[in-house]
Each structure stands twice: as structure tokens, then as C-alpha cells.
A = this chain, B = another copy of it.
Amino acid sequence: MGLWYDEEHAGISRIGLKVERTLFMGQSPYQKIAIVETAALGRALLLDDTWMAAEGEERIYHEMIVHPALTTAPRICRVLVIGGGDGGTVREVLRYPEVERVDQVEIDEMVVQASQEYLPSIGTAWNDPRLNVLIGDGIVFVRDAPAASYEVILVDSSDPVGPAKGLFSESFYRDCHRLLVENGVLVVQSESPFAMRREHLNILLTLKAVFSEVHPYYGPVSIYPGGFWSWAYAPRGVDWRQPLSERMLAIEAESEYYNRTIHMAAFAQPNCVQRALVA
């Protein structure tokens, strides 16, 4: 049978999945965490009643937050991931043999533990010896870390409310900029361009105060508000238009969604976004 669980957006629209059973439910110091079995998309993670990832559709989001940066940065030895407690982002990062070390800073240990136990199909790389999981606040971590420590930084956060709020501030972006080497790239998840247009544009404008260029890119994520999501690519001297062929060939051979053509296409800006950024 199952019961509907609906995530409401501003109390006026909602996305629901039929839930067959609850596998985990907990309250951490930061948020409410649930892992449920859905009829449509397999096991799914909710944080504060918001759909985060589901086995049946998580690949697009995780491919899109990782590969545009990882195929274009000339060196990718040291990668920093902020957030991403379900393990999908580090899984995609660790597909690159050139990656020597991934530091993942996740504030909520309970998310990592519950995901390790109940979402093993998403987090398949927890045991990779190159992965260094640190439980802590990403804001403090980037403030204290030495300059030029990473070639790529990926911010796989939840929405800019609750524990993730500080991950959308100018001072956080300034620390990320300092932590990046020359020819490094920062990518952040940047909300829905339609359902959360103001938040999306704010993220781009805040990044622009710190980085000399910022390029939003887009892709479908069915369980997020509006079904269409964005990420922002903020480079220090890297060109998103130039993915490295050898890396791209290896990655696209095993991806569900991402390939070279999708990479180039994802950076197309809807007219309404283009106009808002020029204005």
C-alpha cells in the first residue's frame, strides 16, 4: 500500500512519492533525517522533510555537480567536497584516477552514518583510501585551511536555510577562492532557476563579487522543486568550454546522463536568466 509523502514548496506546490516503509528516522543537532523506501525511485533521503536524493534518480545530480569541473581543471589531484553526506558526489569524484585525495567536510555525522548504512548503492566509494571524511563545519574548515590547497572545490549543500545558510555567503566564497590554486574551479549547487529564481540569481551575484567569472549551468533533477536544477561554475583561470578529451572519454563511457554534448549544452542560459544577470 504505502503512504504519500509530499515535500511542499511555500505551501503552494508539492512533489510526492509513495513511501512503502521508513528505514531510518533521526534528529541530529542540525536537522531531521529520514531514509525511506519509495515505490517510484527506490530508497530516498530526506533532510528536514525535503527530498535530497533517491536511488532511482540521483545520478544526474551527482554527475552534474562533479564532471564539469573535473573534466576541465588541468590538475585534479586534491579535491575538497563540502557537504554531500549521502556519498554520491565523492563517488563521482573518485572515478578519476588522477584524483589523489578528497577531503569531504560534512557537518552532520548522522547523515553520513545513516547513508552508509541505508544507501550503499549511492555511496559506493566510502572505503576508497583516497577519501578523507571530516565531520565539521565547512565554513570553519575553509576559514582555517591554507591557501592554494585544492584544485577543485565542490559545495554540495542543502538549501540556503538551516545548517547550510553560511555556505552561500560572500565570505565563504572568498575563503574558497583563497583555497583554490590558480587554474582551479569552484562549483556550488545553486538552486532552481525557476522555482527559486531569486535564490539562484543571488548565488550568482554573490559569487561574482569574488570570482572574475561565474557560469551557471543547468540540468534536470526530478525530485527538486521545479524539476530543473542549477550549479554555478566559478573558475580561477579555467575555461569550461575546454573539457580534456581523454578524461571526458573515460567519464562519458560510464555516465547515465553526462557526456561531452551535455557538458557544452548545460551552460546555455535561459533568456530570463540572461536578462536578469545583465540587468
Contact = CB atoms under 8 A, between A and B. Distances in A.
Interface in A261-278: 261-262, 264-272, 274
Contact of A228 (B222, B255, B264, B272): B222
A265 B220 CA distance: 14
Interface string A221-237: 11000111000000000
B270 A257 contact: yes
Interface residues of A, number: 45
Contacts of A157: none
Contact of A4 (B14, B18, B228): B14
A258 interface: yes
Contacts of A210: none
B268 A262 contact: yes
A27 interface: no
Contact of A220 (B10, B220, B252, B259): B220
Nearest to A195: B222
A10 B2 CA distance: 13
A219 to B, nearest CB: 9
A194 interface: yes
A55 interface: no
A11 B271 CA distance: 35
Contacts of A256: 270-272
A41 B13 CA distance: 9
Contacts of A261: 268-269
Interface of A: 4, 6, 9-18, 38-41, 57, 60, 194-195, 218, 220-222, 226-228, 252, 255-259, 261-262, 264-272, 274
